[in-house]
A and B are shown apart, each in its own frame.
Chain A
Amino acid sequence: MAGKKTLTFVLMDPPFETPRSTTAIRLIDIAVQRGYDVNVFAYEGAVNLAFSRQTPHANAVHGRDVAEEGHPVPREWVAEIFKQAQRTGSKVDWVQCGLCVDERGAGEWISGPRRGSPADLVKFTETSDNTLVIPTR
């Protein structure tokens, strides 16, 4: 794609807390759909978005078993972003802040993201057309 743009997203919220994580992933999804290259720096609680042990559960209040409930787990959304990038030709570089991972014991994540540091965010910022920070509030 001529003039292909690169966007960097900085995420901070953990999954299963506020709508910001969902919104962030939706924005990344749209960027990848449109063929943009995307960098993600998962900072603090956001490193758990890709945590591989997230497990869907049944829901007694809804009256549905595990299969019927289709409980969303953000690791699936992250995986979808990488899958979609293969189709659209987008390059997705998702960096998990290493110190944030260590302090949470969150070292198990799905295929796709890689371990990194704020130095990666510096590179992302310098090489991107724009950076969007979605912080914790």
Chain B
Amino acid sequence: MKEDLEFSKDLVLLGLDIPDKWDLIEHMTDALAHAVAPGERGGVTRNRLYEAVLTREREKATGLANGLAFPHARIPGLPKPCLCVARLRAPIDFGAMDGLPVDFVVLLVVPEDQPNIALRVMSQFARLFGDAQERAYLLSLADAESVHEFLARRVLSPETLVTARDIMREPYVSIHPDTPLKDVTRYMRRFGLDAIAVVENDGTLVGEITCERLFTLGMPDFFSQLKSVSFISEFDPFEKYFAEERQTTARDVMETDYAAVPENATLLEIVFELAVRRHSKVHVVQDGKRIGAIDRILVLDRVINI
């Protein structure tokens, strides 16, 4: 990848003191336009680069987690990917998924037909920043040359596959098997969840409750055999649901055929679970413990819509 990527030590910016992310993006785009000759950029102007990254960032913030942000864009006419990294003196808000400010920003522009490169670079940076030691080492390097050399060796060399760990979201809500059903539905509504993991106290994943499951609790089996119900106007199937809700817990209604993958599961495996086996969520587990989750929106957001 390294040979196909425009990334020199001039594109490593250290000790920046820019408190606003929009200003930072502009600054990094300028650096990129300065370091990469117009001929190498296929005639793509600095303004086009800037507008493209800005537009993508306005669609959805690209702050990841562990202090890393990844502003990026796909640009028609760009002959090869160009990368610029910035280490900040003080962390700034980048709308990161873990809610924390970021102090390392990776700006990447790729040819329109090569979004997979953006995905791989993002995965590799996310993996690097997921490792506390490696992250600390990167942040401790004193000069641009060392950072460039480290990234070129550590991040940009291997042609690795995107795995579950790269795109998963840290688990932020789960329920215990003894949670009353009433509370389960409240959690799901509050966090806007299609599916919620049922987890023992030690983090072991034991089941999943989906919206579909909750709906079918209120729908007796025979409804699934009918072709329509619009001919009946006065009948309330949820009467039974509410009658049962009082004494039911998550354990009683959870399903155990949830999708669980190890952290090194490939993107293909994940999409297979979501698209072919029609699970609304894939749980990422390590030794039976839940360490992350990937849902359809997350794949759209981080993979397809990159």
Say whether A and B bind each other: no
